[in-house]
Amino acid sequence: MLGFLVLVLVGTVLLSMPFAVEDGQAPGLMTAVFTATSAVCVTGLVVVDTATYWSTAGELIILGLIQAGGLGIMTLASLLGLLVFRRFGLRMRLTAQTETKSIGLGEVRRLVGRVILVSLIFELVLWVMLALRLYVGYDRRVGAAAYEGLFHSVSAFNNAGFALYSDSLMGFVTDPWICLPIAVAVIVGGIGFPVVLELWRRFRTPRAWSLHTKITVLATAVLLAVGTVLITALEWDNPKTMGAAGWSDKLLAGFFASASARTAGFNSLDVAGMEPATLLVHDMLMFIGGGSAGTAGGIKVATFALLAFVILAEARGEPTVHVLGRKLSDGVQRQALTIVLLGIGLVMSATVALLAVTSLDLDQVLFEVVSAFATVGLSTGITDDLPVFGQLVLIVLMFVGRLGPITLATAMALRERVRRYELPEERTIVG
């Protein structure tokens, strides 16, 4: 967390320089801090228009912060996951205690190398696709097409949501050659590096997938489908969003919105014009987020899915929780419940705080808070209208929402101890 804080401070200093702004005037401190935090935490919320406010140098600084933040999240989260797996692996339990808490330098190098390699491959492929489409379909000059393609490929794979267009991607709402590649990059970047690596190796043998991969892939597919259906149905006749589009364009827009709501931050529809029910669907999708050890935010799909299995087991009256042929440990259940309840508490506290200092509607405030906590970056357009206190609340939410769940889950896993005695059991009234 200190490393990411230093990165935010460095980004703030760089963005505070006059050369980072289009008009050559140094920005205010809050603008620089907010933008740097949003970029490092790969969120995408902004208080100024990225396309017109920042110079090319400023945009490149933002791009560098996004890349550093995305790689840092995937690398550190994967390393922490490796530490947890080794801590509880059977083979490591049989070795010396000092070895169970150490990770070899060779493993770190291989893991970091794989994260960087996978990231660069996907970003390079998306860069080429977007650049070609912008050059051929939108008459961009070669340099402009290459620059815009590079910026949006890095922003998409890292789930950052920063765009070089004032209306985000609304100008490409009916273009599958832009929306679908970006949606795929968002899903791959947000599903988590361990899952991507395992799918790369064992894509044709799903029975050999780990439980984590099975849960993540299944929950991701279900949430994408449910989100697409709900958003498309709720906005079908809305003239402010997709009401005038054809049915195929509506499906494309609904799918892109569902994928982006999971943590990407791009929007091809006008979020401010969406129905209240659609905003609530977005709130739920954003809060759940994407996969662990990826660039996605939220409580993570695995956490959500595990709690769903816990509820199912309790509804059936079963004494233990079974998930896809495996028994779920009590410790994992407690960790999942803790992360969800702490996330709800943080979102509710921030929502109350913003409602107390603004005259905005609950729909708008809750949407903004969940977007910041889940590092999504979608907004109804109120970010720059918030007072300084409100923007500080969002900065804290972005930082805590980005790093808090990772460090909290790892700390709880590594601190798990064996209790050598139990107190007398007693039940209380529940419900």
Q: Which of 383, 407, 175, 346 is nearest to 265 (CA)?
A: 383
Cα R_g (the chain), whole angstroms: 22
Residues facing 15 on adjacent strands: none
User: Do residues 118 and 193 make contact, with C-beta atoms less than 8 angstroms apart?
Assistant: yes
CA 331 centroid distance within chain: 25
pTM for the full predicted model: 0.87
Type of residue at 421: Y
Residue 22 lies in a domain: yes
Please state, in angstroms and rounded to a whole number, the distance separating the CA atoms of residues 161 and 269: 14
Identify the domain containing residue 301 by its residue range.
Answer: 2-414
CA angle 305, 300, 200 (to 5 degrees): 90
Q: What is the pLDDT of residue 106?
A: 54
Q: Is 262:296 a contact under the CB 8 Å cutoff?
A: yes
The number of beta carbons lying within 10 Å of the beta carbon of residue 412 is: 16
Give whole-number Cα distances, 250 to 230, 233, 265, 288, 316, in Å.
Answer: 12, 9, 19, 24, 39
Which residue type sits at 297? G
* pLDDT per residue rounded down to tens, the chain (431 residues): 778 888 999 999 999 999 999 998 989 999 999 999 999 999 999 999 999 999 999 999 999 999 988 887 777 666 666 665 555 444 444 443 333 333 444 556 676 777 788 888 999 999 999 999 999 999 999 999 999 999 999 999 999 989 999 999 999 999 999 999 999 999 998 888 778 888 888 888 888 888 888 999 999 999 999 999 999 999 999 999 998 889 999 999 999 999 999 888 899 999 999 999 999 999 999 999 988 777 788 888 988 998 999 999 989 888 888 888 888 888 788 888 888 988 999 999 999 999 999 999 999 999 999 999 999 999 999 999 999 999 999 999 998 888 776 666 666 555 666 667 778 877 777 77
CA distance 84 to 6: 26
Which amino acid is it at 137?
Answer: G
Rounded CA gap, 231 and 277, in Å? 9
Q: Do the domain assignments include residue 426? A: no
In a domain, 420, yes or no: no
Distances (CA, A) of 105 to 79, 111, 325, 416: 11, 10, 35, 25
Tokens of 191: 């599903």
Q: What does each C-alpha distance from 333 to 16, 90, 152, 288, 429 come to in angstroms?
A: 45, 20, 38, 16, 21
Is 113 a domain residue? Answer: yes
Is 300 within a domain?
Answer: yes
- Give the distance, in angstroms, between the CA of residue 209 and the centroid of all CA atoms in the same chain: 23
Which of helix, strand or coil describes residue 25? coil
Q: Give the per-residue pLDDT at 107.
A: 57
Domains in the chain, number: 1
Q: Is 168 part of any domain?
A: yes
Q: Report the 10 Å Cβ neighbour count for 302.
A: 23
Quote the tokens at residue 5: 């804080």
User: Could you tell me if residue 430 is inside a domain?
Assistant: no
Assess if residue 425 is contained within a domain: no
Tokens linked to 403? 């790093």
CA distances from 390 to 133, 280, 375, 396 (A): 39, 21, 16, 10
Strand partners, 327: 322
The H or E element spanning position 354 is helix 330-357
Residue (of 142, 27, 45) closest to 372 by Cα position: 45
